[in-house]
Chain A
Amino acid sequence: QVQLVESGGGLVKPGGSLRLSCVASGFTFSDYYMNWIRQAPGKGLEWISYISSSGSTIYYADSVKGRFTISRDNAKNSLYLQMNSLRAEDTAVYYCAREWPDVWGQGTTVTVSS
């Protein structure tokens, strides 16, 4: 079945870095654009980044621009989010999501705290 599985979350100090991964299965990953969306504790959903199927087109939310980098490896059916200069306000569950999105992963939790 169609599935997205995130990993890489954890506890990191302010200013630190983390790399999230998302492995896709059950569909032809290279045919789909992908996104990262996050949800802070007790808050709503926030779209943070988009990457086209080939990786040639990328967009970021202003809140993460210049600090986060989205990438993908179609040969490995994998999506990534490199997060640098992390702040307390980046604390959230991070979801990998397909297209608009129609499929979501289960999420991985990132906590930024000293």
Chain B
Amino acid sequence: DIQMTQSPSTLSASVGDRVTITCRASQSFTRWLAWYQQKPGKAPKLLIYRASTLETGVPSRFSGSGSGTEFTLAISSLQPDDFATYYCQQYNSFPWTFGQGTKVEIK
């Protein structure tokens, strides 16, 4: 199984900050990685797929990069609507696995 480790677990930031979240995989794989945003009581929302492709309708301040065992989600200028929990997920091989989540909090 591919284990996905996200860091940090919690991130305190202010509106306008640039933030980055890292996801490290226990095995190398190609670009079958997605990033999701989840708010309390809601289903996850797809932000990025294939490591760096922005889902339609997602603001361009979100970007994804990486390959192999290290992947990154960046938010260029944090907005009030971005305070949420973020998950990475590999869909390279079964069982698909998620990172443990990164909660982005208001500083």
Contact A104 B55 (CB under 8 A): no
CB-CB contacts below 8 Å: A57-85 with B:
59, 61-62
Give which listed residue, A47, A95, A103, contacts B98 with CB less than 8 A: A47
A29 on the interface (CB 8 Å rule)?
A: no
**Chain B residue, CB-CB nearest to A96:** B43
The 0/1 profile, CB within 8 Å of A marked 1, for residues 44-74 of chain B is 1110010000010000000000000000000
Q: Contacts A44-B87, A45-B87; is A105 near B98 (CB within 8 Å)?
A: no
* Shortest Cβ gap from A49 to chain B (Å): 10
Quick check: is A31 within 8 A (CB to CB) of the other chain? no
Q: How many residues of B contact A (CB 8 A)?
A: 21
Which of A74-114 touch B at CB < 8 Å?
95, 100-107
Determine whether the beta carbon of A102 is less than 8 Å from that of B55: yes
Partner of B43, one of A35, A47, A107: A107
**Docked-complex contact B98 and A101, CB < 8 angstroms:** no
Contact B49 A47 (CB under 8 A): no
A46 to B4, CA, bound (A): 12
Contacts of A61 in B (CB 8 A): 95
B7 contacts partner chain A, Cβ-Cβ < 8 Å: no
Which of chain B's residues have a CB closer than 8 A to the CB of A104?
43-46
A84 to B45, CA, bound (A): 29
Which residues on A sit within 8 Å (CB–CB) of B87? 44-45
| 13 more CB-based (< 8 A) A-B contacts, given A59-B95, A107-B43 | A44-B99, A45-B44, A45-B89, A45-B101, A46-B98, A50-B96, A59-B94, A100-B32, A100-B34, A102-B46, A102-B55, A103-B46, A104-B46
Closest 6 CB pairs of A and B: A104-B43, A47-B96, A45-B98, A100-B91, A59-B94, A44-B101
